Amino acid sequence: MFSLYLMVISMTKGYSEQTAGAKLCIDLATDWGLDCITGINSKNILMMDFGAADGGTAIEFWSKLIKKVKISNPEAYVSLIGNDLFSNDNKTLINNISVHSNSYQNYSSFLCGGSFYDQLVPSEFLDFGFSATAMHWLNKKVDSLHNHTHVLASDNKEAFEDFQKQALLDWNQILFMRSKELKVGGKLLTVNLSRDSHNRYLGNNGGKTLNVHDQIHNIWHELLEEGLITSEEYKKGTIQNFYKSPEEFLSPLNNKNSESYKNGLRLIEERTVYVDCPYKKEWEKNNNLDEFASGLMETIRSWSRHSFIAALSDISSRKENPVDILFERLKKRIKSDPNNWSLDYVEHHLMMEKV
């Protein structure tokens, strides 16, 4: 039997290596994950991880859940389905969710490529659905933000309303699909990037350090002023996501006319949790400034780069890719003023049941 720790080191790569914070967010949801699977007495238990990326950040989470199921229900056949988009590194995902078969018999892992905006498994199929840090990207592009790169850091009220409207449409759709897939009595746990009542969100910790989104925008604007991007590209440089508030997360569950509510999806519990920047913490311990600046820049780049690449009309004719310059400058800024940088997470946990 393999050591789980060694498996984590050897099987994860790419996404997991660049997102230390995402694993901490999942770890903090383990207590509710264990609550969700308590008392499942079916002989055939089906669980699913939606938007799992390479699956590395959730290995420990799933290991604890499977162990609990196996102790309380030793005869059960347990299946874990990993989901992400077709374009994802799904080979690594299937490897990472398969590691549990080294520890348990009567365990199978499956891969389900596709979008969680669609129904992904048959109706009344799942005992437990889980998703972490995946449901903040908009399903349809909103192009009304022209004076910033992130709507929450901007002062653009009209764009805020457009993003909020799309985000709520998307969230209703996501919950409606999950309400179809869950068995009656099945549970759903979502762990999502959010904004709290003080308007704090990933990149904005209420002024303890610089707002990361303002800094990204500031550099993007510099590139415009230096003629390295056109005004059209400047306007198109928009991060197409939205960090929902607790009220927005709860809205389909409080609305008796929503499709998910009509389909039986109900709120059990919700909470907001905070995760301090792991790169900052490590720097405070080891004082390695280069490692801090690189690590922080790379984690920011991992989720924002594609938005800026998509804004460019032509890369091939340029001497230098302006998006590379953006992240080089970001790293330089972090290095020159490290005390003023941190990427702290605000995450919303929502536990639901299909009745």
Ligand X SMILES: C[S@@+](CC[C@H](N)C(=O)[O-])C[C@H]1O[C@@H](n2cnc3c(N)ncnc32)[C@H](O)[C@@H]1O
Closer CB to ligand X, 15 or 292, in the complex: 15
**Looking at the DSSP assignment, which residues form a beta bridge with residue 48?**
81, 129
Closer CB to ligand X, 244 or 329, in the complex: 244
What is the tally of helices (H) and strands (E) in the chain?
14, 7
Q: Using alpha carbons, list the distances in angstroms from residue 77 to 4, 126, 178, 184, 353.
A: 21, 13, 22, 19, 22
Distance, CA of 233 to CA of 225 (rounded, Å)? 12
Q: Contact, 183 vs 125, CB < 8 A? A: yes
Among 33, 51, 237, 295, binds ligand X (CB under 6 A): 51
Among 92, 96, 98, 133, binds ligand X (CB under 6 A): 133
- Any contact of residue 84 with ligand X (CB under 6 A)? yes
Restricted to residues 180-219, the positions that interact with ligand X (CB under 6 A) are none
Contact partners, residue 30, CB within 8 Å, separation at least 6:
60, 61, 64, 65
Per CB under 6 A, which region of 28-36, 78-86, 145-153, 311-319 contacts ligand X?
A: 78-86
Q: Kind and range of the H or E element at 19?
A: none
Closer CB to ligand X, 211 or 304, in the complex: 304
Q: Using alpha carbons, list the distances in angstroms from residue 140 to 166, 170, 240, 291.
A: 7, 9, 9, 36
Among 77, 104, 125, 137, binds ligand X (CB under 6 A): 137
Distance, CA of 201 to CA of 194 (rounded, Å)? 6
Distance, CA of 76 to CA of 46 (rounded, Å)? 10
Q: Kind and range of the H or E element at 169?
A: helix 157-181
Closer CB to ligand X, 6 or 85, in the complex: 85
Tell me the residue nearest to ligand X as measured from the CB. 51
Closer CB to ligand X, 142 or 229, in the complex: 142
- Any contact of residue 117 with ligand X (CB under 6 A)? yes
The Cβ-side half-sphere exposure at 125, using a 13 Å CA radius, reads 15
CB of 143 to ligand X, least distance (A): 19
Closer CB to ligand X, 36 or 223, in the complex: 36
- Any contact of residue 88 with ligand X (CB under 6 A)? yes
- Any contact of residue 134 with ligand X (CB under 6 A)? yes
Per CB under 6 A, which region of 50-58, 62-70, 95-103, 199-207 contacts ligand X?
A: 50-58
Q: What is the bridge-based pairing of β-strands 77-84 and 44-50?
A: parallel
Residue with tokens 């050897």: 10
What is the number of residues in the chain? 355
CB of 273 to ligand X, least distance (A): 13
Per CB under 6 A, which region of 61-69, 131-139, 245-253, 278-286 contacts ligand X?
A: 131-139
- Any contact of residue 304 with ligand X (CB under 6 A)? no
- Any contact of residue 81 with ligand X (CB under 6 A)? no
Residue with tokens 């569950």: 253
CB of 22 to ligand X, least distance (A): 3
Q: Which residues bind ligand X (CB under 6 A)?
A: 19, 22, 26, 51-53, 57, 83-85, 88, 115-117, 132-134, 137
